[in-house]
Amino acid sequence: MDNLVIQALGKINMGILIIDRQLKVILWNGWLERFTGKSKDEVIGRNLLEVCPRFKLNMYQNILQNALYQGQSRFCSSALHKAFILPKENEDEHFYKQNMHVEPLYENGRNYAMIQISDMTNTSTRVYKLKNLIKELDVEYNKVKISEKISKHLSMHDSLTGLPNRRAFNERLIWAINHAERSEGRLAVLFVDTDGFKQINDTYGHEVGDQVLVETAKRLKENIRSTDSVARLSGDEFSIILNQLNDDHDAEVVCEKLGTAFVAPIEVSGNFIHLSLSIGISVYPRHGEEPAELLRYADQAMYRIKKNGKSGYAMYDSQRDQYG
């Protein structure tokens, strides 16, 4: 089946190439070989910017980065752009018109981008017909994308609090780590657990418990910067990404602010409910560079607070924070 797919990609009448996050070319189909004169053997494994210099422009760099790191699709029309893939030597690049469609791909936890190149070069009559067709397709495409956007929002957000869910949090953490790596910055992951929430549910019922969670989400979101992210992982467990920290102490300052935000009781249906937080902190790159380990270390630091009387925060310590 893989061989049939490769054969089909080789015969399809458009350029299809796939790149990874390092912009390394993973796939280069037959159309591109014929159009550019460059065989797949000499292209695969090389950096896209070397093979196709037009992508060095900031506009196209941003399109690729948004697909690779934020899962965004993008369509670029030949009416507004020059050719994206240059033809063989000795051919006039200005003669050609191309559409480009960039889509994110995912496999085994890795992100890729597929670039589709459609040759729009033809007589004026054909171009006119194609433009009308593109307009019709664009309307349908936008309708589909709006529907997909709504569906994606529902799949990436917690239905009770409206916060990003665990899946969305993981994607944001991956993006935040990649950004911090490129900028040689640091970030913190906070694992936040409410103290005594089970007792609240048992005493007041689940409807009151749900309203307490909604208010908890609201206070957490109000006490971090707009550039940071808070998510509900499950039950009464939340996690926060603090971006662009100057030093580790910045994370502790935020934890103190969050603790203060819960001094005032939460009022639900005439009940005044006191709630406190236990917060664990891990810092990139000091404690780790992988999303899963940063979240795990923050969880372990939070667990130390729980064991020592609850209500407070702690920085991860490899010597002290090990589950028995």
SS percent in the chain: helix, strand, coil, step 5: 45, 25, 30
Tell me the pLDDT tens digit for each residue of 21-45. Answer: 999 999 999 999 998 899 989 999 9
pLDDT at 145: 76
Given a cut of 60, is residue 279 above it in pLDDT? Answer: yes
**Is residue 38 domain-shared with residue 58, that is, in the same domain?**
yes
**Is residue 199 domain-shared with residue 292, that is, in the same domain?**
yes
Q: Is residue 257 part of a domain?
A: yes
Q: Is 158 a catalytic residue?
A: no
**Is residue 177 domain-shared with residue 309, that is, in the same domain?**
yes
Percentage with pLDDT > 70 across the chain: 92
Domain holding 173: CATH number?
3.30.70.270
Q: Is residue 233 part of a domain?
A: yes
Residues 188, 247: Cα–Cα separation, whole Å: 10
Tell me the pLDDT tens digit for each residue of 217-230. Answer: 999 999 999 999 99
The residues, ordered by sequence, that sit 6+ positions from 76 with a Cβ below 8 Å of its Cβ are 63, 84, 99, 100, 101, 102
Query: Mean pLDDT throughout 63-91?
Result: 85
pLDDT at 1: 43
**Is residue 185 domain-shared with residue 287, that is, in the same domain?**
yes
pLDDT at 146: 75
Q: Which residue segment(s) compose the domain that 282 sits in?
A: 166-315
Quickly list H helices, the chain.
2-11, 30-36, 40-43, 48-51, 58-70, 124-156, 166-183, 197-204, 206-222, 249-261, 291-307
DSSP 108: T
Residues 316, 220: Cα–Cα separation, whole Å: 21
Q: Which of 237-241, 274-278, 316-320 has the lowest mean pLDDT?
A: 316-320
Q: Is residue 324 part of a domain?
A: no
**Is residue 240 domain-shared with residue 133, that is, in the same domain?**
no
**Is residue 37 domain-shared with residue 103, that is, in the same domain?**
yes
**Is residue 63 domain-shared with residue 78, that is, in the same domain?**
yes
β-pairing verdict for 74-76 and 277-284: unpaired
Q: Is residue 323 part of a domain?
A: no
**Is residue 171 domain-shared with residue 289, that is, in the same domain?**
yes
Report how many domains make up the chain.
Answer: 3
pLDDT at 283: 95
Q: Is residue 161 part of a domain?
A: no
Given a cut of 90, is residue 243 above it in pLDDT? Answer: yes
Tell me the pLDDT tens digit for each residue of 78-135. Answer: 878 778 888 887 777 777 788 899 999 998 889 999 999 888 876 444 556 667 778 8
Write down the catalytic residue from 119, 193, 228, 236: 236
pLDDT at 72: 92
The more confident residue out of 127 and 256 is 256
- Model confidence at 155, in pLDDT bands (50, 70, 90)? confident
**Is residue 50 domain-shared with residue 137, that is, in the same domain?**
no
The residues, ordered by sequence, that sit 6+ positions from 247 with a Cβ below 8 Å of its Cβ are 186
pLDDT at 322: 66
Q: Which of 11-25, 78-92, 164-178 has the lowest mean pLDDT?
A: 78-92
**Is residue 134 domain-shared with residue 87, that is, in the same domain?**
no
Cβ–Cβ under 8 Å, residues 23 and 47: yes
**Is residue 20 domain-shared with residue 117, that is, in the same domain?**
yes
pTM above 0.85, yes or no: no
**Is residue 170 domain-shared with residue 292, that is, in the same domain?**
yes
pLDDT at 308: 87
Q: Which of 39-43, 45-49, 145-149, 244-248 has the lowest mean pLDDT?
A: 145-149
pLDDT at 324: 41
